């Protein structure tokens, strides 16, 4: 989804209540969704909870200054989750501007600033972010199913684990495999096999929550990440997937059945590969039971 002005989320960070109020009022008037932070520690907390599209960040802050916040942001967030930062400072020296840009800021604006200029710089940064996200998304999407690909799973899984660990909530992973997929391919051809995979992707989209993430792992295998879902939560999603899959009809007599394995962070493992291996083993065990029956 494009970062439309009315939907973009902006975090403003400043220890001056008057400046903070002025910026927030200005941005809300333009239709942005805005959150505020008054020190560096609060800013880092809001970055994880609010997940802003852009940050307006003052350099001189209590507890952690703007440079420290910027360092934490750039260290933790990957290229795929890049957040542009506009630094503000009462220091008008060229050296301060250069220092900000060298440390990872995208723009720099001295105080006092003209509101119209701040808005223009925010809009420009969001346009650049939107174009870059579009290009990155093309590289992270499986062209057949439209789901995220294996490359993005490796990156996003680590991010989700870090977030779950930091804020102490469970994260479930589901791994799915299409039953008798090779037989369908051999019997009715690869075009039909492609149609099956597209239908599976549709089932996963309608069966999961807005916050869940679906991936094509490879071949006829899929992975779903379920933030804030424990064993009971993942069970509900599994049942919904099975129900929706059973209702899919094809032009050939092929019943859509899925073997599904699960794993839960941190109860079963705290490792990204461990989550995949546990879910994969359970999925394979379920498939073996079906073959025996």
Residues 6+ away with beta carbon under 8 Å from 196: 178, 181, 184, 220, 250, 254, 256
**CATH classification of the domain holding 166:** 3.30.70.270
* Residue 120 shares a structural domain with residue 196: no
In a domain, 4, yes or no: no
In a domain, 157, yes or no: yes
Q: Are 58 and 89 spatial neighbours (Cβ–Cβ below 8 Å)?
A: yes
Q: Are 182 and 234 spatial neighbours (Cβ–Cβ below 8 Å)?
A: no
Q: At 4, which helix (H) or strand (E)?
A: none
* Amino acid 121: pLDDT: 93
* Residue 207 shares a structural domain with residue 279: yes
Structure token digits, residue 208 = 């999961």
Phi, psi of 10 (to 5 degrees): -125, 130
In a domain, 3, yes or no: no
In a domain, 18, yes or no: yes
* Amino acid 65: pLDDT: 92
- Examine the pLDDT at 225 and tell me if it is beyond 70: yes
In a domain, 67, yes or no: yes
**CATH classification of the domain holding 74:** 3.40.50.2300
* Residue 16 shares a structural domain with residue 106: yes
In a domain, 145, yes or no: no
Of these residues, 53, 106, 212, 220, which one is catalytic?
A: 220
- Mean residue pLDDT of the chain comes to 91
CA distances from 289 to 17, 147, 258 (A): 64, 28, 13
* Residue 20 shares a structural domain with residue 87: yes
Phi, psi of 214 (to 5 degrees): -110, 140
In 3-state terms the chain splits into helix, strand, coil percentages (rounded to 5) of 55, 20, 30
* Residue 155 shares a structural domain with residue 288: yes
* Residue 127 shares a structural domain with residue 211: no
Q: Which pLDDT tens digit goes with each residue over 141-195? A: 999 999 999 999 999 999 999 999 999 999 999 999 999 999 999 999 999 999 9
* Residue 92 shares a structural domain with residue 125: yes
Domain closes at, from 112, 140, 168: 140
Phi, psi of 172 (to 5 degrees): -105, 150
Domain closes at, from 140, 158, 174: 140
Q: Are 140 and 148 spatial neighbours (Cβ–Cβ below 8 Å)?
A: yes
* Residue 202 shares a structural domain with residue 85: no
Q: Are 222 and 204 spatial neighbours (Cβ–Cβ below 8 Å)?
A: yes
Kindly tell me the burial class for residue 237, based on how many C-beta atoms sit within 10 Å of its own C-beta (0-12, 13-18, 19 or more).
buried
* Amino acid 148: pLDDT: 95
pLDDT band at 5 (very low <50, low <70, confident <90, very high): very low
Boundaries of domain holding 31: 9-140
Q: Are 147 and 141 spatial neighbours (Cβ–Cβ below 8 Å)?
A: yes
Domain count, the chain: 2
Q: Are 69 and 43 spatial neighbours (Cβ–Cβ below 8 Å)?
A: yes
Q: Which pLDDT tens digit goes with each residue over 130-140? A: 888 777 777 88
Q: What is the pTM of this model?
A: 0.60
In a domain, 158, yes or no: yes
Domain closes at, from 120, 140, 160: 140
* Residue 33 shares a structural domain with residue 158: no
| Distance between CA atoms of residues 212 and 255, nearest Å | 26
Kindly tell me the burial class for residue 171, based on how many C-beta atoms sit within 10 Å of its own C-beta (0-12, 13-18, 19 or more).
buried
In a domain, 26, yes or no: yes
Task: Give mean pLDDT, residues 77-104.
Answer: 81
* Residue 235 shares a structural domain with residue 123: no
| Distance between CA atoms of residues 278 and 267, nearest Å | 12
Identify whether 119 is preceded by a cis peptide bond (ω within 30 of 0).
no
Only one residue has tokens 């509900």, namely 236
* Residue 286 shares a structural domain with residue 154: yes
* Residue 36 shares a structural domain with residue 134: yes
Tell me the chain's radius of gyration from C-alpha atoms: 23
Is 220 catalytic? The answer is: yes
């Amino acid at each position: 989804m494009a970062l439309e002005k009315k939907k973009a989320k902006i975090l403003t960070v400043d220890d001056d209540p008057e400046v903070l109020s002025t910026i927030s009022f200005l941005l809300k008037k333009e239709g942005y969704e805005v959150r505020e932070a008054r020190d560096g520690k609060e800013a880092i907390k809001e970055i994880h909870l609010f997940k802003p599209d852009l940050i307006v960040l003052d350099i001189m802050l209590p507890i952690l200054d703007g440079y420290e916040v910027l360092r934490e942001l750039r260290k933790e967030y990957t290229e795929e989750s890049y957040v542009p930062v506009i630094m503000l400072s009462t220091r008008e020296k060229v050296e301060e501007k250069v220092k900000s840009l060298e440390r990872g800021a995208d723009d720099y604006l001295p105080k006092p600033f003209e509101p119209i200029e701040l808005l223009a710089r925010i809009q420009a940064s969001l346009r650049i972010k939107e174009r870059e996200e579009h290009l990155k998304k093309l590289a992270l999407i499986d062209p057949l199913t439209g789901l995220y690909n294996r490359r993005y799973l490796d990156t996003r899984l680590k991010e989700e684990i870090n977030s779950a660990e930091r804020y102490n909530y469970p994260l479930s992973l589901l791994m799915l495999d299409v039953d008798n997929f090779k037989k369908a391919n051999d019997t009715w051809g690869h075009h039909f096999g492609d149609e099956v995979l597209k239908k599976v992707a549709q089932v996963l989209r309608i069966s999961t929550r807005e916050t869940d993430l679906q991936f094509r792992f490879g071949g006829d295998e899929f992975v779903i990440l379920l933030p804030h879902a424990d064993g009971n939560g993942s069970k509900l999603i599994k049942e919904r997937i099975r129900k929706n899959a059973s209702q899919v009809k094809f032009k050939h007599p092929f019943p859509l059945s899925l073997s599904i394995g699960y794993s839960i962070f941190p109860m079963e493992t705290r490792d990204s590969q461990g989550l995949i291996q546990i879910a994969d083993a359970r999925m394979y065990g379920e498939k073996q039971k079906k073959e025996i029956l």
